Amino acid sequence: MNTTVESIYENICRSRDTLGVLPPEYSLPLEEPSSESKVRFADGALDGIAIYHMGVPSQDTALLEQALEVAAADPAKARRLVQEWAKDGHMVSAMGKIQKYAVSHQQELLPNPVYRLAVECALKGTHREEVKFGLALLPLFETDRDEQLKNALRILALSDEFTLYVLSIAENWTLSAQEVLRIARNVRGWGRIHAVVQLQPETEEIAHWLFAEGWDNTVLPAYSALECYRKSGMRKRLEGTMNDRDYICACRLLQALLEEGPVPGISEVEDAEGLLDAFLTCSASKAVSPQRQKTLESVAGHAKKQKMTAIAERAAALL
């Protein structure tokens, strides 16, 4: 396990920059000696890959169930059981199962000891899966009125490794959409991808952020392009009056939609030809720029492959 007594929460607190977020080069501390033969994933990547590409099959949670059962009588033992599980466990595959166990056994499990165990693991844990265990339990409890805990959870959410788990807690808070937007703005990797999935365009501020920035992540914009297109009302924006700054955002979002590969994009857009037509109409009034030219080339190439002859010809004429 971790050789330092500093908790992960404390490490994140200490590593924040003057703006209160984590610097781009930050990554969670290693939990075991590094090895040249062992692949080290970026924070949040292992969970993200599991969710988007491998699926999340159920995982054995016997040790975690025992931890819940002894939390009232022996809190120290409960922590040890969680830490033992965390050596090889992956909470992304165990979260649903342990939540279901806690709910189905709520008459036998005293809520206060379980809550204390969850908070202790989340804020004092030295292993990322131990922290995730605590976070996975907290959606089962009322946390909205505990501002001190909420602030601590917001700090944990700054790490892409934990954003997904804090999001499931924050969705139960007052003004949850604003909370999710705040979380999304403060992360740039897998955490932002997960936040965009959860974020609903309840206000124009949220819808515009999804359009202008939601897809802009350090993993691959394509992961969020379809969500951002649908939630931001991009086509209506193209059909209205669009300033030059928003036009560049539209170019970059459309580019992400066209770059299908790991996830669906333009192929899942209803009336994709109509979207491309709206983009070309908007582009006709915009000055030449590298981003405009790059996107028009992509549109022309896609339209040619899809046998959208009129779209391909219009795009080529604008180049």
- Residue 1, pLDDT above cutoff 90: no
**What pLDDT is attached to residue 175?**
92
Residue pointed to by tokens 């209205």: 240
The whole-number average pLDDT for the span 67-71 is 97
**What pLDDT is attached to residue 38?**
63
Tens of pLDDT, residues 36-59: 556 788 999 999 999 999 877 788
**What pLDDT is attached to residue 223?**
97
**What pLDDT is attached to residue 264?**
93
DSSP line for 232-290: HTHHHHHHS---HHHHHHHHHHHHHHH--SSS--GGGSTTHHHHHHHHHHHHTTS---H
Residue 191 pLDDT level (bands cut at 50, 70, 90): very high
Cα–Cα distance for residue pair 319/315, rounded to 1 Å: 7
Which among 56, 91, 80, 90 has a CA at the least distance from the CA of 168?
A: 91
Higher pLDDT, 300 or 260: 300
- Residue 34, pLDDT above cutoff 60: no
- Residue 199, pLDDT above cutoff 70: yes
Tens of pLDDT, residues 306-316: 999 999 999 99
- % residues pLDDT > 70 (the chain): 97
Cα–Cα distance for residue pair 277/231, rounded to 1 Å: 20
**What pLDDT is attached to residue 2?**
45
Tens of pLDDT, residues 87-136: 999 999 999 999 999 999 999 999 999 999 999 999 999 999 999 999 99
**What pLDDT is attached to residue 30?**
86
3-class DSSP state of 292: helix
Mean of pLDDT over the chain: 94
Cα–Cα distance for residue pair 238/180, rounded to 1 Å: 26
In degrees and rounded to multiples of 5, residue 33 shows phi and psi of -55, 135
**What pLDDT is attached to residue 32?**
67
Tens of pLDDT, residues 204-260: 999 999 999 999 999 999 999 999 999 999 999 999 999 999 999 999 999 999 998
